[in-house]
Amino acid sequence: MNRIRTTRSFALLAAAFLAACGGGEPPALTVGPVAYSEDQLLGLSPERRETLAYLTALALAVADSATDALGAPQVERWREDRLLDILAAELTLEKHGVDDAVLEAHYLTDPEWELTVRHILFFSERWRPKEHREAARRKAEQALELLRSGADFAETAARLSEEPGAEGRQGLLQPGREGSWVPEFWAAALALQPGEISPVTETQYGYHILRLEDRQVVPFSEARPVVARRVARQLDDPAAVLEAWLDEHVPPGADADARRSAALAEASRRGLRVPESEVAELRRRWDDTVYRWRAALGFRPGMSRDEVARASLEALGNAAQNARLVRDELAQYADVFRAYAPITTGAAGA
């Protein structure tokens, strides 16, 4: 419902812009409330104009701190993909007669962990200049020396960590499972025993020092979807097993969308669901993707509509390798951008 209201607001703003133009020439490209004249787009091919539209939709979402809403359809698609993986695993286990007793015995040999961690963060994203990153790394190393000399970790985190809210939480994070944090952070935490402190660890956000507070085995009942997929992959090709099930249960000639809908309906009928920890992982994947896009393109929250247009045009012309890679990648998410900000091209840009 919020997305519908946002779309209507964009449409009204675009209409207001056209009305303000009076009898003037209509925009050559409109993306939500942002409009470009033909003069601004002079010399741009249809393909480049399309890329500009996606850049503008992304910039609008960043400017409005609405990247969660922008990515909601993509995260939902990923969740459905994960649910289909879970269904494929269940069908594979049934095919080979594997029950929960076998799964639980397997799980005991390689359990999932839930970790409780405190950390100290010195911000210096990887796109920052080398000097900035070196300064942050030196601060982290100095903090580590303090800790090794006996300083209290919680008090040091409250005093030195640059993470928002660290002072009140003293660096304590919510318990996390694999996928809850970026891979480098998870690997550093998993390598620790309770009470141990990590070396300085770099992630895309900067330099961290971690202390493991506690580690607990995730109950089998919660870890079962992960275990089922792991065992199923050892037994067979779960994707092929799912395709064979669809061949048997879906009318011949059904298209890919119909087959997908049938599989999702079967997963629902069986009461299968994606664990919340995995849904959180998918949201984090989207957040990490947007974070990388923002860093490469120079978009920031709070930009005005004029600033969005200028920043999008600059991003279109940015020759840096990271910016080029992001521009190529955006086309894969065309439906996401079009759902968030209606895109209209004038006759000259069509």
CA neighbor of 209 nearest in space, from 119, 134, 136:
119
Contact 64, 290 (CB under 8 A): no
pLDDT at 9 > cutoff 70: no
Please write the tens of the pLDDT for every residue from 88-138. 999 999 999 999 999 999 999 989 999 999 999 999 877 778 898 999 999
CA neighbor of 157 nearest in space, from 184, 117, 101:
117
Rg (CA), the chain: 25
Q: Which residue has the higher pLDDT, 26 or 338?
A: 338
- In eight-state DSSP terms, residue 13 is H
- Min mean pLDDT across 4-8, 139-143, 267-271 is at 4-8
pLDDT at 233 > cutoff 80: yes
Q: How confident is the model at residue 24 (pLDDT cuts 50, 70, 90)?
A: low
Cα–Cα distance measured from residue 174 to residue 181, given in angstroms and rounded to the nearest whole number: 11
pLDDT at site 143: 97
Contact 301, 63 (CB under 8 A): yes
Question: Which phi and psi angles does 151 have, rounded to 5°?
Answer: -65, 145
pLDDT at 22 > cutoff 90: no
Contact 67, 61 (CB under 8 A): yes
Mean pLDDT of 40-58: 96
- Min mean pLDDT across 18-32, 149-163, 287-301 is at 18-32
Query: Residue written as tokens 């607990």?
Result: 216
Q: Which residue has the higher pLDDT, 182 or 144?
A: 144
pLDDT at 240 > cutoff 90: yes
Mean pLDDT of 54-71: 97
Q: Which domains does the chain have, with CATH numbers?
A: 2-65+301-345 (no CATH), 72-109+219-278 (no CATH), 113-217 (3.10.50.40)
Question: Which phi and psi angles does 213 have, rounded to 5°?
Answer: -85, -40
- In eight-state DSSP terms, residue 27 is P
pLDDT at site 12: 40
Cα–Cα distance measured from residue 3 to residue 23, given in angstroms and rounded to the nearest whole number: 32
pLDDT averaged over every residue in the chain: 90
pLDDT at 1 > cutoff 60: no
Cα–Cα distance measured from residue 226 to residue 230, given in angstroms and rounded to the nearest whole number: 6
pLDDT at 248 > cutoff 80: yes
Contact 199, 95 (CB under 8 A): no
Task: Count CB-CB contacts under 10 A for residue 197.
Answer: 15
Q: Distances from the Cα of 16 to the Cαs of 13, 39, 273, 338, in angstroms?
A: 5, 20, 45, 20
Q: How confident is the model at residue 299 (pLDDT cuts 50, 70, 90)?
A: very high
- Rounded percentage of the chain residues whose pLDDT exceeds 70: 92
Tell the burial category of 271 from Cβ atoms under 10 Å away from its Cβ (0-12, 13-18, 19+): exposed
- Token pair for 124: 């210096």
Cα–Cα distance measured from residue 181 to residue 170, given in angstroms and rounded to the nearest whole number: 18
CA neighbor of 44 nearest in space, from 312, 320, 329:
312
- Rounded percentage of the chain residues whose pLDDT exceeds 90: 81
Contact 27, 283 (CB under 8 A): no
Q: How confident is the model at residue 2 (pLDDT cuts 50, 70, 90)?
A: very low
pLDDT at site 18: 40
Cα–Cα distance measured from residue 189 to residue 16, given in angstroms and rounded to the nearest whole number: 53
pLDDT at 348 > cutoff 50: no
Q: Which residue has the higher pLDDT, 5 or 139?
A: 139
Please write the tens of the pLDDT for every residue from 167-225. 899 999 999 998 889 899 999 999 999 999 999 999 988 999 999 999 999 999 999 99
pLDDT at 21 > cutoff 70: no
Cα–Cα distance measured from residue 63 to residue 172, given in angstroms and rounded to the nearest whole number: 30
